[in-house]
Structure 1
Amino acid sequence: MEHKDNRYTISGTDIEEVKRKNGQSGMSYNEAIEWMAKTTGGRGTAIYSDTNMEEVKKQNQSVQDYNKNKA
Structure 2
Amino acid sequence: MKENYKSNHQDTFTVAGTNIDAIKRANERSGMSYNEVKELLAKTTGGRGTWIYSDTNIEEVKRKNQQSNQSEE
**Structures share fold, TM-score greater than 0.5:** yes
Q: Does 1:65 pair with 2:66?
A: no
- How many pairs align? 63
Instruction: Give per-residue Cα distances to partners, 1:21-64, cap 9 Å, x unaligned.
Output: 11111111111111111122111011111111010011111222
Which ranges in structure 1 are unaligned for 5 or more consecutive residues?
none
Q: CA deviation at 1:6?
A: 4.8
1:48 and 2:70 correspond: no
For the residue of structure 1 that corresponds to 2:47, the secondary structure is coil
Tell me how far apart the structure 2 counterparts of residues 13 and 39 of structure 1 sit (CA, whole Å).
38
In the alignment, structure 1 residue 7 sits paired with structure 2 residue 3 = no
- Matched residues in 1 for 2:20 and 2:15: separation? 7
Q: Does 2:45 match 1:31?
A: no
Structure 1 vs Structure 2 CA RMSD: 2.1
Runs of 4+ displaced beyond 6 Å: none
> Which has the larger share of helix?
1
5+ residue gaps, structure 2, are: 1-10
* Counterpart Cα distance in 2 of 1:32 and 1:17: 24
Partner amino acid, structure 1, of 2:25: R
1:22 equivalenced with 2:24 (yes/no): no
